[in-house]
Amino acid sequence: MIEVPEESHKLVRDFAGYLRLERGYSENTIEAYMTDIAKWIKFCSNQNLDPIPPRHEYMSRFLKAMASEGKSKASLQRYAAAIRSWNRYLTIEGWVDGEQWLPSLPSKEQKLPRILSEGEIERLISSCRDGSVLGGRDETLFELAYGCGLRASEVCSLALEDIDWRAGTLRVIGKGDKERVVPLLGSVKEKLRHYVDAIRPLLNRREERWLFLTRTGRKLHREDLWRIIRRRGKAAGIPSVRLHPHVLRHSLATHMLRRGLDLRTLQELLGHASISTTERYTHLDLELRDIYDKCHPRA
């Protein structure tokens, strides 16, 4: 077994800076890529292979090993993307003489997003109305995530200064630290105002700037949000298989398309870089309509 040289560890640390400053990747993506490269280096070490440069045959063996461990196609694609970025960085830094030819990215499963019906959304929100402080927090959290079409990470990274009460808008930092402004309207705005004035102060024991806080007053993280959705979903009688951190965002997108919202406006609301990403919801809506037409007794 070879020992990974100390300069490799330094290169990995510097690679994070490259992703952050030159590629403009989000912290979540950087963390995932760093984990993937560490896994790659460990694999090469265990196989007595040199991880630098990431040669074609080594990378193929690595991906096959990950597939044999039951990794999904999405995970395999991310491993490959991370190693390709790593190889590009090594070439820029002069560690590789000419960029190595690497296999193309594995095909990724095209999964349609799972959604809840409007009735299920209401049941999920209603399950929070238990008169408790955390119930009030969770109800507001769900109302905001659904009403503004936010990603899980976007909800958790919201701060008080991101709210513009006068303009009725919310500043959101999305993927790649891209900023967008979404409307804050109607009952969502009223619910958020009540939460900020009456509920959040009961949780804010550490003078935090973050909008949503845990029971102990620290910043709410994606993992916390996932646990909250599962717990409240169970209380609402919604099967756990239909719940995931982005279920409220996906549901809003589909519901708004059904009500006539155009794709370009939805793309801006959701913060999609490509219209093709937004079009997934059109495909989902068409699939649901086909099922409705085939199964409904009066269709």
DSSP string, 97-132: SSPPP-PPPPP---PPPP---HHHHHHHHHTT-SSS
151 has catalytic annotation: yes
- Active site residue: 151, 200, 250, 255, which one? 151
* Collapsed DSSP state (helix, strand, coil) of residue 162: helix
Instruction: Give the whole-angstrom CA distance, residue 126 versus residue 28.
Output: 31
246 has catalytic annotation: yes
Residues in the chain: 299
Going through the chain in order, the beta strands assigned E by DSSP cover 163-164, 169-173, 179-183
- Active site residue: 25, 79, 146, 281, which one? 281
- Active site residue: 175, 222, 231, 280, which one? 175
234 has catalytic annotation: no
175 has catalytic annotation: yes
Angle between helical axes of 133-148 and 118-126 (0-180°, round to 10): 160
- Active site residue: 84, 191, 249, 255, which one? 249
Terminal Cα-to-Cα distance of the chain (whole angstroms): 66
- Active site residue: 137, 200, 246, 255, which one? 246
User: Where does residue 192 rank: exposed (0-12), middle (13-18), buried (19+ CB within 10 A)?
Assistant: buried
Active site positions, annotated: 151, 175, 246, 249, 272, 281
